[in-house]
Chain A
Amino acid sequence: MTGVQLRNLGIRYGQVEVLKGIDLDIPASEFIVLLGPSGCGKSTLLNAIAGLQDVAEGQILIGGHDMTNVEPKNRGIAMVFQSYALYPRMSVRGNLSFGLKVAKVAKPEIEKRVAHVAKMLQVEPLLDRKPSQLSGGQRQRVAIGRAVVRDAGVFLFDEPLSNLDAQLRSDLRVEIKRLHQRLKSTMIYVTHDQIEAMTLADRIVVMKDRIIQQQGTPDEIYNKPANTFVARFVGSPAMNFLEGVVKGGDAIVDGENLRIAAALSSPLVDGRKVIVGIRPEDMALQADEAALGLAVEVDVVEPMGAERMVWCRRGDIGLSTRTPSSTKVKSGDKVRLDLSEERLHIFDAETGKRL
């Protein structure tokens, strides 16, 4: 089993610093997801691990060996791409076996591995077809198969599901998770889709502006976001933010007292500006105007089957919440939102960091 370590990694395009001082420790067999908006450097980081991107400074260790300047083919890695990158005029069988043939693997061994992988990924009936005769989902299965036959210790996925439609995406997501459970290889997966990150990862690394913002289990990322960026990026719809000022241990938001002590490890001094975050599912909508909570007006109601998203307004402040479908509200209703105190997230208004 192969772990991957990045030590103080820096990448430059000419004079432009693309990544700087990246330290990351990926234990063997872990499924790690690099999550971030486009342009955050996550794909560059993946390419550097693959050896497709020159490194200006720092070290890449794979399986304990320094691989910083080793050719991609000798790094013991396999990679799956967003655009599948299948060899266009070769059959599926050719695609699966070509790399092994080039690497001079014995013929019976190649046949054994191809048959095994084809069965695992359910592409056996497609073995003699050309990529142009396959659907997107089938192509990506074949591309994954081509990575698996390499018998590599580390799998790299570069947004593999982004070109697929929603149904196929969730099917293949499960497939990839199953694959990880079976192979127990180290997997490094790049995506901008927070749902993929949450469902697949053992550990998520959230990146933005070429910097690692936070790393942790999906649970930690979701429940203890390190800053307002992570809080907003992960979760759908995004976390609600309210600006407030600390007074007597509470936060004063738009004239209302919010008890924030339960969400804090140590009390804050009066007058400090904070941002109070709350996820849509962590507040209860009370149709009774006289109930406790923040008085708001219903703006838009989105029915989603089992539940409804209710978008509320209070002056300039917008707040979204989930309610069961049984809650009957309509646009224009005056309602109250009861925020659960221990589910609040308090951030510094200046730095955006969690307090």
Chain B
Amino acid sequence: MFVRSPSSSRLQAVLTLVPVAFVVLSVYVGGVLWAAGISFTRSSMLPNYRFAGFAQYINLFSNARWQVSLGNMALFAAIFIPATLLIGYSMAAMINRGVRGENALRTIYLYPFAMSFIVTGLVWRWLLDPNFGIADVARKLGFENASFNWIVNADMAIFTIIIAAIWHSSGLVMVVLLAGLRGVDDDLWKAIRIEGIPAWKAHLFIIMPSIGASIATALVLMSLTVVRLFDVVVAMTGGGPGIATDVPAKFIIDHMFERQQVGLASAAATTLLLLVLVVAVPLLYLKDRRKGAAR
């Protein structure tokens, strides 16, 4: 320890942290607890405190729009996370081999992430517009029957959002994984070549396991994107056609501020929080454990 008396330096640290701790406790934790409390009341337009038990939750899960939202989120996660991981990892592995113009490529790959999700959504909305987008270009090039109308097709619209989100996030995942790959010992690559291990096996069984901490980080970041999914949906489809591309975050905001069903929205928000905890806690634990075992 330092020569200075431990109690005074401790006091300083405590004093410095008090404002932050206050904000965190009152705004975040307080807000979460309050919302959870409201979800057990009959609140509709304005919050009130008449206890309603699980009535809002029963309402919520019998609500078709909420069911669609949850289904969309699950589908989104099931495609977005593996695809982004695969694309991000492939790009990182390619760059890590020492291609020419590495810095330029890294910037290009990361560029989509620098854009707001709203802008990403608008760009893809125009690109995929059946009348003015890629389909139109194809028609003008002479493919007169070309049509690509996923974005206005209730069954396919969610996939256009998934494509846009993958495009948006792959670069970030690449950067995170590239940092991990840079830490892989050169001798390990040499050993792999000497033993003649095919590239895909080497990546799957040797390299990926040795950058577990980076992969866990990428998974946490992608999980957050899944849960927060809102702006790109608003920008691309507005949740439509109909409610075909609705997602939980949009459901919550709509019910909280437009439909004035505060209790229902709170129940949805609390459900979402529980889902996040179920996913994030094991991942964070895994990450910590990996870090500990890395040396």
Contacts and interface: CB of A to CB of B under 8 A. Distances in A.
Contact of A102 (B190, B198, B209, B295): B198
Contacts of B196: 71-74, 99, 102-103
Contact of A81 (B191, B197, B210, B212): B191
A327 interface: no
Contacts of B188: 85, 87
A3 B253 CA distance: 75
B182 interface: no
Interface residues of A, number: 28
Contact of A98 (B194, B205, B212): B205
A77 B210 contact: no
B258 interface: no
A98 B293 contact: no
Contact of A52 (B190, B201, B209, B295): B190
11 contacts: A51-B193, A52-B190, A52-B193, A52-B194, A84-B187, A89-B206, A89-B209, A98-B205, A99-B197, A102-B197, A102-B201
Interface in B172-206: 185, 187-188, 190-191, 193-198, 201, 205-206
B196 to A, nearest CB: 3
Interface residues of B, number: 20
**From B190, B191, B193, B194, residue with most partner A Cβ within 10 Å:** B194
A132 B293 contact: yes
Contacts of A89: 205-206, 209-210, 212
A203 interface: no
A90 interface: yes
Contact of B190 (A50, A90, A146): A50
A79 interface: yes
**From A51, A98, A158, residue with most partner B Cβ within 10 Å:** A98
* Cβ-closest 3 pairs across A and B: A73-B196, A99-B195, A89-B209
B205 A150 contact: no
A85 B205 contact: no
Q: Interface on chain B toward A: helix, strand, loop, or mixed SS? A: helix
Interface in A33-86: 47, 50-52, 71-74, 77-79, 81-85
Contacts of B193: 51-52, 71-73
A50 B194 contact: yes
Contacts of B187: 81-85, 158
Contacts, number: 68
A81 B192 CA distance: 12
A103 B198 CA distance: 10
A88 interface: yes
**From A51, A88, A90, A158, residue with most partner B Cβ within 10 Å:** A88
Given A88-B206, A88-B209, A89-B210, A77 B194 contact: yes
Contacts of A71: 193, 196
A79 B210 contact: no
Nearest to B295: A132
Nearest to A52: B190
A273 B111 CA distance: 68
Contacts of A84: 187
Contacts of B195: 73, 98-99, 102-103, 150
Contacts of B212: 89
A87 B205 contact: yes
Contacts of B190: 47, 50, 52, 79, 81, 85
Contact of B206 (A87, A103, A150): A87
B119 to A, nearest CB: 40
Contacts of A79: 190-191, 194
Nearest to B206: A87
A213 B265 CA distance: 81
A72 B198 CA distance: 12
**From A78, A87, A150, residue with most partner B Cβ within 10 Å:** A87
Given A51-B193, A87-B205, 16 more contacts: A52-B193, A52-B194, A73-B195, A77-B194, A78-B194, A79-B190, A81-B191, A88-B209, A89-B205, A89-B212, A90-B206, A103-B195, A103-B196, A132-B293, A132-B294, A132-B295
B194 to A, nearest CB: 5
B191 A85 contact: yes
B17 to A, nearest CB: 35
Interface string B254-295: 000000000000000000000000000000000000000111
A52 B187 CA distance: 10
A51 B198 CA distance: 16
Interface in A191-248: none
A98 B196 CA distance: 10
Contacts of A51: 193
A47 B205 CA distance: 24
B191 A98 contact: no
Contacts of A83: 185, 187
B51 to A, nearest CB: 51
Contacts of A81: 187, 190-191
Nearest to A158: B187
A249 B198 CA distance: 67
B188 to A, nearest CB: 5
A312 B197 CA distance: 58
Nearest to B188: A85
A159 B294 CA distance: 23
A47 B187 CA distance: 11
